[in-house]
Amino acid sequence: MSANGKLWGVGIGPGDPELMTVKAARVIGEADVVAFHSARHGRSISRGVAAPYMREGQIEEHLVYPVTTETIDHPGGYQGAMDEFYEQAAERLAAHLEAGRSVALLAAGDPLFYSSYMHMHKRLADRFEAEVIPGVTAVSAASAALAEPLVEGEEVLTVLPGTLPQEELTRRLRETDAAAIMKLGRTYPAVRQALKDSGRIDETYYVERASTDRQRVAKADDVEDADVPYFAIAVVPSPVNNRVEAEPSRGEVVVVGLGPGDQAWTTPEVRQELALATDLVGYTTYIDRVPIRPGQRRHASDNRVEAERAAMALDMAKRGARVAVVSSGDPGVFAMAAAVLEVAAEEQWRDVPVRILPGMTAANAVASRVGAPLGHDYAMLSLSDRLKPWDIVAKRVSAVASADMAFAVYNPASKSRTWQVAAMRDLVLEHRSPDTPVIIGRDVAGPEESIKIVRLADLDPADVDMRCLLIVGSSQTTVVESASGTTVFTPRHYPA
């Protein structure tokens, strides 16, 4: 291998020759062969950037793409034509390397970041010594052109190719904090629509040929589709730092559900609203689950002041704030959605917009851990008698039990409520077999998750606390033991 030449993947940066690294400039000047790509028009941007560092007498390998965006008459189509080109180009470079010549293959930006160099690397690095010199990416150059932070703190930056399907672009833009969309040109109409559909168009900037004397910066929606070259980027900056300010008339309350515990169960839609909110309102335990964002105000309170919390959120929204009211699970299931809407119905709040975003509820989370105990008709009940008298709770438990439905039990116990689980068990036993399965799910998707399956007759209140949810099966709910563990399901059919 020592008799062969060395392959260099040289990152030449985003376009300004002065943004090339010292090492890249040295290697270009010392290389026996300088290789670069271009479209069929023959003008290589990469060679133009590297020209100040090249010397007379160097061999130049001009690798011309057979196709860029146009159609091609090739048996393998576009991909077949490109694969054939890369194979032929690799062999051209291999001939120089076998002859002992060093080869500097120029790569715009960084060699391993959406670059053609990687196709040569995969074909040659196992045969010859190869080294990659990283370069300043176009994303960094675009951020510098905007003088705008891309990401801050715990924010997430997503780099997307504009060639993705429009629906996929929309989904990913909704999920991330900040984004850079590359490979524009003919893809820009679809990219623009994805930015609109995701609600991000107003905060997006367009940067063309960053760092060069032809650099152009504009608002993304002000650019004509026909004017967009391939070397342009759409940048959605850090939500904390973007310059789009909500007007007072745009104040609103969004009630969101975080899901039952694990952050992976918080929906992308909810994560986006949490990122855009100026203020968070909620029970301290739930607020603590939301990552801290610079500049975002957090209003945590006790779990027993729903109406006061709702009024606070509505008042801030009335004054122009974008408020996220945070619930665990789903906000519409024994949570803050009803509390906010009840207060919002008062005349003084009628002009404040209120939206509800769903989340995974605890009943479905617990059910998933054992199978499908809620696979047929089911009910959801709360054993708490703080907001309704116990005689109503007891009446509903008896009604559901007599109807032979599986049911989920929220708020089964707390430090001050210790007798309701036993009372519920005795009420259900009046209608159900002692062998009816009961699932006790504790802290599901949390660090102390546990699942226990017991007979109804053996349901012990000592096993249940405020972090539990119970699922009581119907007469048809079945427990199956198998090699994979215990499965519980309620079949979708019911005996005639």
Alpha-helical regions (H) of 295-361:
306-318, 336-344
| Beta pairing, strands 178-182 & 232-236 | antiparallel
62-66, 174-178, 348-352: least confidently modelled range:
174-178
- pLDDT for residue 240: 66
CB neighbour class for 207 (10 Å; exposed up to 12, middle 13-18, buried from 19): buried
Neighbours of 242 (CB within 10 A): 20
- pLDDT for residue 249: 47
Q: What is the mean pLDDT of the chain?
A: 92
Overall average pLDDT of the 429-455 stretch: 95
Overall average pLDDT of the 245-252 stretch: 60
Distance, CA of 22 to CA of 487 (rounded, Å): 63
| CATH entry 3.30.950.10 includes domain 139-241 | yes
- pLDDT for residue 262: 82
Q: Do domains 139-241 and 363-489 have the same CATH topology?
A: yes
| CATH entry 1.10.10.10 includes domain 363-489 | no
141 touches 232 (CB < 8 A): no
- pLDDT for residue 247: 44
Alpha-carbon dihedral angle through residues 425, 427, 430, 434, given to the nearest 10 degrees: 0
Overall average pLDDT of the 10-24 stretch: 97
CA distances from 224 to 4, 85, 220 (A): 50, 33, 9
Sign of dihedral through CA atoms 482, 488, 490, 496? positive
- Give all strands (DSSP E) within 273-314, no chain letters: 279-283, 297-301
Sign of dihedral through CA atoms 78, 84, 88, 91? positive
pLDDT class of 70 with cuts at 50, 70, 90: low
Domain 7-135 homologous superfamily, CATH:
Tetrapyrrole methylase, N-terminal domain (3.40.1010.10)
Can you give the residue ranges of every domain in the chain? 7-135, 139-241, 252-357, 363-489
Distance, CA of 49 to CA of 65 (rounded, Å): 19
Instruction: List CB contacts of 22: < 8 A, sequence separation 6 or more.
Output: none
Q: Which helix (H) or strand (E) holds 429?
A: helix 420-429
Which of the four CATH numbers 3.40.1010.10, 3.30.700.30, 3.40.50.970, 3.40.190.10 does domain 252-357 have?
3.40.1010.10
**For 367-425, what is each residue's pLDDT tens digit?**
999 999 999 999 999 999 888 999 999 999 999 999 999 999 999 998 888 899 999 99
**For 280-304, what is each residue's pLDDT tens digit?**
999 999 999 998 887 899 999 877 7
* Helix orientation angle between 117-124 and 77-98, rounded to the nearest 10 degrees: 60
Overall average pLDDT of the 437-450 stretch: 93
- pLDDT for residue 248: 44
